[in-house]
């Protein structure tokens, strides 16, 4: 697992945890709901969290598709081009 994937999942989990707690507080303090609503809310939060996590995992990272040698070559060529443009000015 890459570092950015770990931080995405950690952030998503924290966000959904805060959202779940906020929903529970609203349902417990201000809105009178039947007890089954708390279960539906919890299951809904877990399902949405898992769906977003799976969707993010299925996205292809463009950097993985590049050949490292080609990427190094393009970086070097772009560096040369930017130097020649600066010299012309």
Instruction: Tell me the pLDDT tens digit for each residue of 44-74.
Output: 999 999 999 989 888 866 656 667 777 788 8
Decide: 73 and 41 in contact? Cβ < 8 Å: no
- Other CB atoms within a 10 A radius of the CB of residue 59 amount to 8
| pLDDT at residue 38, as a whole number | 92
pLDDT value at 14 more than 80: yes
Q: What is the dihedral of CA 36, 39, 40, 41, to 10 degrees?
A: 120
């Amino acid at each position: 697992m890459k570092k950015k994937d770990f931080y995405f999942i950690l952030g998503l989990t924290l966000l959904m945890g805060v959202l779940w707690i906020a929903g529970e507080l609203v349902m417990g303090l201000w809105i009178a709901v039947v007890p089954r609503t708390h279960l539906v809310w919890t299951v809904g939060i877990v399902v949405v969290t898992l769906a977003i996590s799976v969707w993010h995992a299925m996205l292809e990272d463009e950097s993985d598709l590049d050949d490292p040698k080609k990427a190094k070559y393009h970086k070097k060529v772009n560096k040369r081009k930017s130097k020649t443009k600066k010299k012309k000015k």
